Copies of this chain bind each other. A is one copy, B any other.
Amino acid sequence: MSQETAPPEPKKPIGRPTLRTIAEMTGFAVTTVSRALADDPRIAKTTRETVAEAAREVGYVPDRAARRLRTGRTQVVSLLLNTDHEFLGFTHEILAGITEALRGTGYSVTVVPDSLRGDRLEQVREILRNHLADGLLFTRTECFDPRARLMMEAGFPFVTHGRTEFTEPHAWVDFDNEAFARMAVERLVARGRRRISLVPPDDRFTFTQHLRYGFVSAARAAAVDHEVIQDVTIDQPMSQVAEILRQRCTEADAPDGYVCVGEATALVALGALADAGVVPGRDVDLVSKRASPIFDHIRPRIETVFEDVRATGKVMAEMLLRRMEGEPPDQLHHLFAPEGGFSMPPH
């Protein structure tokens, strides 16, 4: 409006376009441009269109730092990554799911190490204190997970992989490990097995309880012998698991069926059995959960149920987005069923 004939305009020869760039292009004030881009109804529809057009033309992208400074929102979500253990693709898959859900939202995901050794809360506290993220995702959830408690107290958005036993609701995504364990037992029983064994995860995790319950109750219902290995968990070094299994599978009352919670455990169990000269499919059977396609190629073939970790990550991130928009956590949870049941690899 100020002038019809454009002055020399030797301005901003470099640098990304900013609100001011668009303001000068269109003749509106910076405030107006900001509001127009936010589709604020107080701004005239025609103005909004003009501004949007100009923004598109110069490829305007709001500056994250400036927005963050002003609004206090970081546009970041963090994933707590357990650095102790190997999960054969778990991290990869869950991150693929998370980034897929976040694509186009402007949010990015940072990875924060989280060791079971040492204080699990330290990292979370730092994120809360220094506002390093707008929301948090974490796995390996405990029954009364102190991280979850801390974040509920702080009113900070988060989604857990795995449930807790708090009465106050929070967002979670989980795999139905109870159903998995039940099906696993039934499958082994259907194959004629009568002494069934489970190598459990660490007792502190909620899903360990689910597994154990499903396992024990299905075994009781089928009236078969069963045991939950006592001296070792799959969260200890795999060599220890192998050691215990090698020993156990040659004892007089050795199990004839094994339920494995994950791929790593299954591989270790297969190795231990092989070392002891026990032949899967003949002497014993083994069933497992699987999270990657690699299991189709493991020999001897074993029956597995697929847990879609990528989908898990995707749903977790989607839920977190809704939480961060203020949606209450009451309805935000999803339980993945062991879909399709057990199956043997093809060919």
**Which of B83, B92, B296 lies in contact with A96, CB distance below 8 A?**
B83
Q: How many monomers of this protein are in the complex?
A: 2
Q: In the complex, what residues of B have CB within 8 A of residue A268's CB?
A: 294, 297
- A202 within 8 Å of B by Cβ? no
**A window 85-120: CB within 8 A of B:** 86-93, 95-96, 98-100, 103, 108-113
The interface residues of chain B lying within 8 Å CB-to-CB of A275 are: 299, 347
Partner of A16 from the list B65, B96, B108, B130 (CB cut-off 8 Å) is: B130
Chain B residues with CB below 8 A from A149, complex form: none
Query: In whole angstroms, what is the CA distance A238 to B292 when docked?
Result: 11
Is B239 a contact partner of A86 (Cβ separation < 8 A)? no
Contact across chains for A298 and B65 when beta carbons are under 8 A apart = no
Q: Which residues of A contact B (CB under 8 A)?
A: 16, 59, 61, 63-66, 68-69, 74, 76, 81, 83, 86-93, 95-96, 98-100, 103, 108-113, 129-132, 238-239, 242, 264, 267-268, 270-272, 274-275, 292-294, 296-300, 347
Question: 26 pairs across A/B with beta carbons < 8 Å?
Answer: A61-B130, A65-B65, A66-B69, A81-B96, A81-B99, A83-B96, A83-B100, A86-B89, A87-B89, A88-B88, A88-B292, A89-B92, A99-B112, A100-B113, A108-B112, A109-B111, A238-B294, A238-B296, A239-B296, A242-B297, A264-B294, A267-B298, A270-B297, A274-B300, A275-B299, A275-B347
